[in-house]
Structure 1
Amino acid sequence: MEMLHIREKADAIKARQRGRDIAKAIGFSLVDQTVIAYTISELALQLISFSEKGHMTIRQISPSKGEPASGIEVRLFDHFRGSSRIHLQLIEKLADDIELSHDQLRGTMITLRKWIVTPLRMDSPNCAAGEE
């Protein structure tokens, strides 16, 4: 897991590139790599537009322990102690899973996950009960 402090546009560019690199290493398609990079960039730019500081973490994830990574998780921490100022309307359509939590002491935490869609395997026949 890598923590990136987001204070200026250069930080947003670094986060965007790091997200794209991780997505590429996991095996996301070029289109999904672009969607992930765009999402990270938009969230980072929203953090910059406010005077408060924030940071994000980006990491590979897998559906269960022991399986190879097949997804990416981005966590955004907005250190603002009031109600959330991050707008998720567009971002919601780009992520597979979103969690939002708010704490008066720590601010808002947004967790986004995107999974690689794997095609169905047809190498072994699936038979119903009684079929051979």
Structure 2
Amino acid sequence: MEMFHIWETSDAIMARQRGREIAKAIGFSLVDQTIIAYTISELAQKLVSISAKGHMMIRPVSLCKGDPASGIEVRLFDHFTGPSRIHLQWMKELTDSLELSHDQSRGTMITFQKWVHAPLRVDSPIYAAGEE
């Protein structure tokens, strides 16, 4: 697990780059690596743009205990204790699991997970028209 304090844009860039590296090491496709990096970057930039900063944790996760990593989990902690200021509508299509919790004394925590999806497997050969 890696933790990043997000206070300025350079912190957001470091988190995004490291998230992409972790996603690549786990085996995500280039497209999914880009989606993960984009999501991390957008969340981190939201912390930079507000006065009460926060931190982010990124870690590889597995579906079953003892299995090798098959996904990535990102947790963002917004230290602002007022009403939640982060809206997640844009993230629903980019993640496999998304959770938001808000506590008036601790702030907002957002957790998202993305899983490596196995490539489509076709057991029978595929023929072009007329080759059956």
Q: Specify if TM > 0.5.
A: yes
* Distance (Å, rounded) in 2 between the aligned partners of 1:12 and 1:100: 20
Q: Percent sequence identity over matched residues?
A: 72
* Distance (Å, rounded) in 2 between the aligned partners of 1:49 and 1:80: 12
* Distance (Å, rounded) in 1 between the aligned partners of 2:7 and 2:89: 23
Structure 2 residue 116 is matched with structure 1 residue 116: yes
How much has 1:76 moved relative to structure 2?
Answer: 0.3
* Distance (Å, rounded) in 2 between the aligned partners of 1:89 and 1:107: 19
Pairwise mapping of residues 80-95 of structure 1 onto structure 2 (< 5 A)? Answer: 80-95=80-95
- Equivalence for 2:68: 68
Which deviates more, 7-16 or 89-98? Answer: 89-98
* Distance (Å, rounded) in 2 between the aligned partners of 1:106 and 1:65: 29
Unaligned stretches of 5+ residues in structure 1: 124-132
- Equivalence for 2:17: 17
Structure 1 moving runs of 4+ over 4 Å = 120-123
- Equivalence for 1:78: 78
- Equivalence for 2:126: none
* Distance (Å, rounded) in 1 between the aligned partners of 2:32 and 2:94: 9
1:74-107 residue CA offsets vs partner (Å, 9 max, x unmatched): 0000011011111211112101000111111110
Pairwise mapping of residues 37-76 of structure 1 onto structure 2 (< 5 A)? Answer: 37-76=37-76
Q: How many aligned positions are there?
A: 123
Counterpart code for 2:5: H
> What RMSD, in angstroms, separates the aligned Cα atoms of the two structures?
1.3
Q: TM-score w.r.t. structure 1 length?
A: 0.89
- Equivalence for 2:128: none
* Distance (Å, rounded) in 2 between the aligned partners of 1:117 and 1:108: 29
* Distance (Å, rounded) in 1 between the aligned partners of 2:62 and 2:122: 22
Unaligned stretches of 5+ residues in structure 2: 124-132
Structure 2 residue 46 is matched with structure 1 residue 32: no
**8 Å contact from structure 1 (residues 73, 113) kept in 2:** yes
**8 Å contact from structure 1 (residues 47, 86) kept in 2:** no
How much has 1:119 moved relative to structure 2?
Answer: 3.6
Q: Secondary structure at the match of 2:102?
A: strand
